[in-house]
Structure 1
């Protein structure tokens, strides 16, 4: 059974609307000046160490927290004029906090082991997605009307990282209202990819991906409701983890989720080094960490491995780039050669409806029948709901406070059917059962992170449904780790998503460590 006539019409409308907005953008926007192709190389060796090693060196007094924080401040100042990733810094406060850390270590009497147990990230710099509440810092999510709004406290996940000793150095850019695959807005501007500044850094945690990928941060915090951790991690050549839904608190973010969206949103770690993923997740999970059994050893040779090469041919998504197909094939070959396992190629026919499933479930009402807050209301920030046609007219004359991406999304939402398709609901349930049966508690699945490599700026306006490759796992609630796999012939990051069953996050994190060793992990974009 295929899509109904009405659903085919809706699918055609979705593609037509996205094509129209891309054409309008290219016709009426001004070309940006050409910038340098990539950032300068990393020179300070402190910037090439995982957070866990930095924390250990700080505890052992081999280096001071002030030296580490200053090294990252210097790097941010070196690259941020090219990238526009960090949109508000707190350098003075961070250095003051680092000096306090160094005094604390000098006065510590309980020994290094006790300090590591109590404050595992003591003295390590941290970058934070601007949509998270970080006391005294902006939390606008790129909305012009929220310029000047400052957080009065910390989001729970941020607070836990700070309590573990991490020192925030600044907040990073997002798309307008965190609902796009490119981090651009009219409050802070556009953020660029460190491997090629003419390319996108992804969204919505795009500023995080960009500054981490450039070597300007070692660990960061992002959120993911459709791939917002994993797409920027892929495009910027770093690691990112979308955990099992409900483990890490999603509170303290703007915009807030509504209706059933909390079921699909996931807050998680982003970092350059795979060994930082598990300790960050343990910290951010707080009291829920025990549910993940993160201390249990993982024997990769005893896992069952599967690979899915694409979504089965959805007409909404682009074909998977051949270099990504080849990179995933090499992962399977390496797993078989190194571990003696068999990587079985399988398919799930329902994946071709990934976008429709994500779009349908994100719009479902809560148990009381209340639908999620309309996007046009979020754009208005408490004022009268935005009228997309009027905003488009204003945009054409350079008078709108909203980006073309947000306006086009408002149009797409306006043609969204209020009644969920029973066919799509059935496809989701079938996919959920099938995937959970395949994965169980010892299965790991390889899947492309996106069908194409990092595109040129604004090109996602013509391919908005490619995010389906990440978005489907938000609806399924499965843990996924995005892992870098070297660079393409164009010098852009390659990667793969590693998926496991619910609460089996430790499996994907263990595979991430293996893939870092096997394929080299993060590559300095200035040295390529």
Structure 2
């Protein structure tokens, strides 16, 4: 599995690769949150969430890339560079758990962990075509993360799973949840016919919505399916607060702990103006987003602590009305993002990434992102479109049940490339021979070109290799089988190699 946050020492935190949105670092691993200020930091122990996964038998593979200090929607920083979207390398994988989303979508890991404070699990899941879940706030331990956002904002930070298959979300969540939160009933069956279904296609703007027509159509497809197949009555729900969520979220930061936010972006005596000048002449030590965030953090001050408390109390009343509308058997379906993944650095001009997700972090309610379809762009590239399923606090199981139904109907995780098919369909026996043949031909070509003795790394790991190996691992699950050969997965791989007459080459390369 992979972790996205650099979660390590209990007194610190960070997002990383394997744990999807940057959660785990583990003893001895680098945990720097993509920030030069934390370069070389190695925690002494696992974050509690990572420790629970290890106890359950999880094997951490890697820490993935994040934006500097995990506070932007594109996974790039000065330490490790830019993470690409596997569907189109010119585009962003999202953030802040972008490295995790990219790795899982490229079949480099079966599942991972991320941290979500405004959509950091859900946005990469939407852009990369995988599943991601932000749990009800407080049910998963969120200590041991880097950066430490302080006591005020920590209540909004959630550690959540990112997976290629919806069935793995409750699997991870059952391990992660606090032992005292047994009332979630994650393994209990949900009767879909008894649900109340609410939906909204836009952020609520009456005339010029930022949500693309394709993203709106994805919501309509899902709601139409539940209406036609399960007989659910659908109700359009207007949420005016979605229009101004960027301002609202910044005001929440300011109302909870304004000084902590400034210290987070400007440790020590860093002069933001000087750092901006250094960036302009190519000598920058920090990314432009983190420098901008260090200034915008002070744009929404409150006249007094009393005014800040009134603002937070107002948000709680809005949240209570929202939950009262949904009830104990209601879910809301809306776009997971305003559009498909933007180009790198595009969100510096249009901060749309968290506009469909941040409000539900403020509300502390559960939300699950589910891939639905592909949108074909002007140059022929196919990019994922996803929806978001939201429920009342404590009703995570409703979100997960709807996610399973969406996966069953629309195919689930979307494969990068022209195929645009479910990852499950990719692993049929009639594709295995071709995948093995292409891998071995690449290795043979590399061997002939370079000459000399065998080296440990013949070729960078290709997407085909990752799909093949993870396909075999998936077949090792209970009930997994190969429709072509009806053989055990490892025997199936062996059969494919032998069928091509390249076993000797496989051993040589």
Normalising to structure 2: TM-score of the pair?
0.75
Q: Secondary structure at the match of 1:221?
A: strand
Between the two structures, name the one with larger relative contact order (CA 8 Å, sep ≥ 6).
1
Shift of 1:144: 1.3
Alpha-carbon distance, 1:425 to partner: 5.0
Q: 1:324 aligned to 2:210?
A: no
CA distance in 1, matches of 2:18, 2:88: 24
Does the 8 Å contact 1:357/1:424 carry over to 2?
Answer: no
Aligned residues: 402
Does structure 1 conserve the Cα–Cα contact (< 8 Å) formed by 2:18 and 2:24? no
The answer to whether the aligner puts 1:378 opposite 2:270 as a matched pair is no
C-alpha offsets along residues 445-504 of structure 1, whole Å, 9 cap, x if unaligned? Answer: 011112121001100000125412100001101000011012111311100110000100
Is the Cα–Cα contact under 8 Å of residues 20 and 97 in structure 2 kept in the other structure? no
Contact 2:316 2:363 in 1 (8 A): no
Over aligned residues, Cα RMSD in angstroms? 2.4
Query: Which residue of 404, 408, 421 maps to 2:292?
Result: 408
Cα deviation code 1:115-137 (max 9, x no counterpart): xxxxxxxxxx9555555332221
SS in 1 for 2:43: coil
Match of 1:344 in 2: 235
* Residues 1:229 and 2:229 are matched in the alignment: no
- Structure 1 residue 309 corresponds to structure 2 residue 201: yes
- 2:330 alignment counterpart: 443
Q: Residues of 2 paired with 1:472 and 1:466: CA distance?
A: 12
Q: How does 1:69-218 map to 2 (within 5 A)?
A: 127=19, 129-130=21-22, 132-218=24-110
Contact 1:357 1:428 in 2 (8 A): no
Q: How does 1:235-246 map to 2 (within 5 A)?
A: 235-246=127-138
State the Cα distance separating 1:308 from its structure 2 match.
Answer: 1.2
Other-structure match for 1:353: 244
C-alpha change, 1:139 and 1:129, in structure 2 (3 Å) is: farther
Partners of 2:362 and 2:228 lie apart in 1 by 34
* Cα shift at 1:523: 1.8
Q: Distance in 2 between the 1:517 and 1:310 partners? A: 25
Structure 1 stretches of 4+ with a deviation exceeding 6 A read 85-88
What do residues 301-325 of structure 1 show as CA deviations (whole Å, max 9, x unaligned)? 111000012221199x961011010
2:301 is aligned with 1:417: yes
1 CA distance for matches of 2:75 and 2:160? 18
Which consecutive unaligned segments of at least 5 residues does structure 2 have? 7-16, 421-509
- Name stretches of at least 5 consecutive residues in structure 1 with no aligned partner: 1-50, 52-71, 73-84, 89-124
Instruction: Say if 1:231 and 1:449, in contact at 8 Å, map to a contact too.
Output: yes
1:394 aligns with 2:278: yes
User: What residue number does 1:60 align with?
Assistant: none
Tell me which moved more, 428-437 or 252-261. Answer: 428-437
Match of 1:22 in 2: none
